Structure 1
Amino acid sequence: MIRIVIALICSVVWVSVPVNAQLLPNNTNLNAQSVQRWMQTNRDIAPIVQVVDSVNTTEEEIKAFEALPALAQDQKITAILKANNLEDAANKVIHKHGWKSVGEYMRLSSKLGNAIAAYFLFGDLGKLTEEQAKQLKEKADPAILAVPRSDIEFIKRNEKSLQQYIKAYGAGR
């Protein structure tokens, strides 16, 4: 009887790890769960992200950081957090909201921001002449032009729930 109970406990523990991992949203793509998690995290993580963002001040530094693979970004972010005694606070926030790292949150933020910008850009293009549209595309950030159509459609489908973030972006334009 004891062997059966131990076997059951072991099988539940062993099976529960992959099941729990599957319940977490995919935080690399825009989907309802990841964006909801992103919105819930904003207030808690804002001071931490401000410190991380303050390190890369020039356009070149920002682009160089964004060009790094995710692991290298996370290592740099961890070093910044350690240097500013924010590692424990950051870990509490990311674990509370189910992120793997501050970098993962920031990458989804960038993806969402680019998708909102592309939503506006491509919406504006439909209202312009062909020449105006061409000029606008030439001036646009390549990251925004590279946003997948599926991300733009996600913003369109979820415009109501993202309204305050879309308004904030629109006000900054």
Structure 2
Amino acid sequence: MKCITQFLSVFLIVLVAVSSHAQLLPDNNNLNVQSVNRWMKSNRDMAPLIQAIDARHLTPESFKTFEALSSIEQDQYIELVLREENLLGQADSIVRQYGWKSVGEYMRLSTKLGNAIAAYFLFGDLGKVTEDQAKQLKEKADPAVLAVSQADIDFIRRNEKTLQQYIQAYGAGR
């Protein structure tokens, strides 16, 4: 009986620890204040890793091939690239420091954020042009930008000032 009681005690402690840790990690798959703040805080540290990965995608075709991979396949490819570039240890440290599941997760949120910002400006501009100009803009726009949800565009609208301040500070090197 004592053994069962000890086991249950340890199990409950582990369960509480795991659930409290899980609550601390934001949803990094969707645009929300926590995930975007995490992205902003980790952006500078992630930059050399992303540059190494992006260097492998010198053509639009290779980039499209990468984007077409599943999340798991992207993460495997990224790990391979970082290992080959001797950046895997640095990547693991940065991922742990900022609470990302992987560099790929950071990259996918970056893409989602970038597409949402582009859509916010595109659809904002559509209201200021003629119908023919709007049609031309839509025809030239990236399909990923056109597919951005209204919820993500609204998120950008609500957080435009914060994002603008971050971009300005980042550009100034602060």
Task: Give your verdict on TM over 0.5.
Answer: yes
Matches within 5 A, 1:116-135: 116-135=117-136
Match of 1:20 in 2: 21
Mean Cα displacement is larger for which, 20-29 or 46-55? 20-29
**Whole-angstrom CA distance in 2 between matches of 1:79 and 1:9:** 38
Q: Summarize deviations over 1:80-105 as a string: whole Å, max 9, x none.
A: 00101110000000110000000000
Query: Within the alignment, does 1:58 sit opposite 2:59 as a pair?
Result: yes
Quote the offset at 1:16 in angstroms.
Answer: 1.6
**Whole-angstrom CA distance in 2 between matches of 1:63 and 1:122:** 24
Quote the offset at 1:21 in angstroms.
Answer: 1.2
- State, as a whole percentage, how many aligned pairs show the same letter: 60
**Whole-angstrom CA distance in 2 between matches of 1:140 and 1:166:** 22
Query: Within the alignment, does 1:38 sit opposite 2:35 as a pair?
Result: no
Query: Within the alignment, does 1:138 sit opposite 2:158 as a pair?
Result: no
Structure 1 residues 153 and 30: alpha-carbon distance in aligned structure 2, compared to 1, 3 A threshold: same
List gaps (5 residues or longer) in structure 2.
170-174
Quote the offset at 1:7 in angstroms.
Answer: 4.2
**Whole-angstrom CA distance in 1 between matches of 2:168 and 2:63:** 24
Matches within 5 A, 1:129-168: 129-164=130-165
In the alignment, is the contact (CA less than 8 A) between 1:116 and 1:166 conserved in 2?
Answer: no
Q: Summarize deviations over 1:9-52 as a string: whole Å, max 9, x none.
A: 43112222133113211000000000000000001111111001
1:100 match: secondary structure: coil
Quote the offset at 1:126 in angstroms.
Answer: 0.3
Using the size of structure 1 for normalisation, the TM-score is: 0.90
**Whole-angstrom CA distance in 2 between matches of 1:98 and 1:20:** 10
In the alignment, is the contact (CA less than 8 A) between 1:118 and 1:144 conserved in 2?
Answer: yes
Structure 1 residues 126 and 165: alpha-carbon distance in aligned structure 2, compared to 1, 3 A threshold: farther
Match of 1:114 in 2: 115
How many residue pairs get matched? 168
List gaps (5 residues or longer) in structure 1.
169-173
In the alignment, is the contact (CA less than 8 A) between 2:40 and 2:166 conserved in 1?
Answer: no
**Whole-angstrom CA distance in 1 between matches of 2:120 and 2:112:** 12
**Whole-angstrom CA distance in 2 between matches of 1:118 and 1:14:** 41
Using the size of structure 2 for normalisation, the TM-score is: 0.90
**Whole-angstrom CA distance in 1 between matches of 2:166 and 2:105:** 19
Q: How big is the alpha-carbon RMSD for the aligned residues of Structure 1 and Structure 2? A: 1.8
Match of 1:73 in 2: 74
